[in-house]
Amino acid sequence: MTALLLSPVISGCDTSPGDPFTAAQEALASGQPRTALDLVGKAIDADPNDPAVRMLAGDAAIALDNPDRAIAEFQRVPETHTEYSLARAKLAEAQVMGNYMAAAGETVGSLTMNNALAYTATIAFHLANGKIEESYEVLDEGLAKFPDDPRLVTIDAERLWSEGKAEATFARIEPVLALQPVVSQAHLFAGQLRLGLRDVQDAKRHFEKVLSVRPMHQTAMLAMAAIARDGGDTQEAGNWINKANDAGPSHPIGLLFAAQMAFDAGDLLRAFELIESAPSDFAKQPEFTRLRGMIDAGREQHAMASLALSDYVEATGGDPFARQVLANSLAEQQQFDAAWEAIAPLVEHPQSDQKALILALALAEKSGKGDPATIRAKIDARSNAPSLDTEMREAAAAIRAGDWVTAERIYAPLFEGAGQSNPALLNNAAAVKTKLGKHDEAVALARRALAEAPTSPEIQDTLGWALWKSGNKAEARNWLQKAWEGAPGNREIAEHWAIANAS
């Protein structure tokens, strides 16, 4: 659950139409905060001590994701002003936004809890300090006083999602998404949800809503970059990353995207330079350690690669390709026992390709572990099976872009033909059917996939989720439990398990 910051709330002031203050209000209300800030500058020149002008300047600065300017403006609102308590709440959230936590703590401690924004500010402060339970207590107090406040409702929806209550989450957030002016926090949260669910077009619409009122919002820009990248438009992705960097200091996620694109393009030196510049706290995150390991392996720095990829596998359980690269880097260092341990799970993994199995066979023979005969049989079976690499890549691209209909069309002739015994294809086809609401077909395909790879947590999860969506809750929980026990570090599996066990 992420800390939420306030959308601008326009302060009232008795002015005649056409003056800079009124024009600034109108510009901010219409999603033009930069214009609003330019106009409010003229109002400040006319009367630098007008508290309402300072409030509006702070609102415009928040909309431009400029916490330093917002802090300066809200601090200039005098205690005698009628909206002083509101200004203090806005000041606290601007301080949290700028990561001035000591100052934010002092401001939060002095808040008069007579407006919803005071509760939002206090929640944001607690969340930024990792105090989840304290934030929930404040949220409940705030909702008791202001049950319909859109920002508090948004945070409540985030809490429901963290508890695995998917249906309740969407029901809770839906009315807020219909509000005008746009509540940027609600659309940011909804966009993140939809992006995680691969509902790409819906996600994009929500992020566009965020940018319509907060055009310098880095997180929304980076989400747009991710959507463009997954859709195969690397130029557009790069444009969004550049816009995000222009909006403020380089965002770590932007660095990750840029480094990944450089790596995908074969520019290992540029990828290395970018990943090296990531802040240390972010560099420890699994996504960073995985890419760092891949880059190091590509540069034949196998000791560094194995360190990074070992951390990634320990944290997440590892994906097939990361395990394969890790095993190869360990083998390059003559660490054959450790290399076998890295690759052993891939022998039975439905997504293991021929190269992974050949490496597994070599490591089994070098380490004296595993069953070489079984691995040879799998290699022979793969050698005699028709190649589906092209179709699988095309379908994977469609899935990343959220184009479920195209993915279904690609899979359709395969799961009754050349791919009828391919567990990865059957599994992916089942997942696509689930996304399209064809739950009975999804269950049937997932059962076929599981028959081919009965110990795969990924396939157990696909079957469990298809059963869950079809309404067979009891059997769904059984398979989702097995999947979670087999791959507790897999985020999607953990999310499905949490939803099933929260209902």
| Tens-digit pLDDT profile for residues 414-466 | 988 888 888 999 999 999 999 999 999 999 999 999 999 898 999 999 999 99
pTM of the model: 0.74
User: Looking at residue 166, what is its pLDDT?
Assistant: 81
Question: Is the confidence at residue 476, as pLDDT, over 90?
Answer: yes
Neighbours of 390 (CB within 10 A): 9
d(C-alpha 273, C-alpha 271), whole Å: 6
Question: Is the confidence at residue 12, as pLDDT, over 60?
Answer: no
Long-range contact pairs involving 96-104 (C-beta distance under 8 Å, separation at least 24):
96/3, 96/5, 96/121, 96/124, 96/125, 96/128, 97/5, 97/62, 97/65, 97/67, 97/70, 98/67, 98/68, 98/71, 99/128, 100/67, 100/71, 101/125, 101/128, 101/129, 104/128
User: Any idea which of 24-28, 89-93, 117-121, 463-467 has the lowest mean pLDDT?
Assistant: 24-28
User: Looking at residue 310, what is its pLDDT?
Assistant: 96
Any alpha helices (H) in 183-301, and if so which ranges? 184-196, 200-213, 218-230, 234-246, 252-264, 268-276, 280-283, 286-298
Highest mean pLDDT among 1-5, 7-11, 110-114: 110-114
**How far out from the chain centre does Cα 188 lie?**
11
Neighbours of 114 (CB within 10 A): 11
Question: Is the confidence at residue 180, as pLDDT, over 70?
Answer: yes
Question: Is the confidence at residue 313, as pLDDT, over 50?
Answer: yes
Residue 503's pLDDT band (cuts 50, 70, 90): low
User: Looking at residue 14, what is its pLDDT?
Assistant: 39
Give the whole-number percent of the chain exceeding pLDDT 70.
96
Question: Is the confidence at residue 155, as pLDDT, over 80?
Answer: yes
Mean pLDDT of the chain: 89
Confirm if 52 and 13 have CB atoms less than 8 A apart: yes
Which is more confident, 5 or 122?
Answer: 122
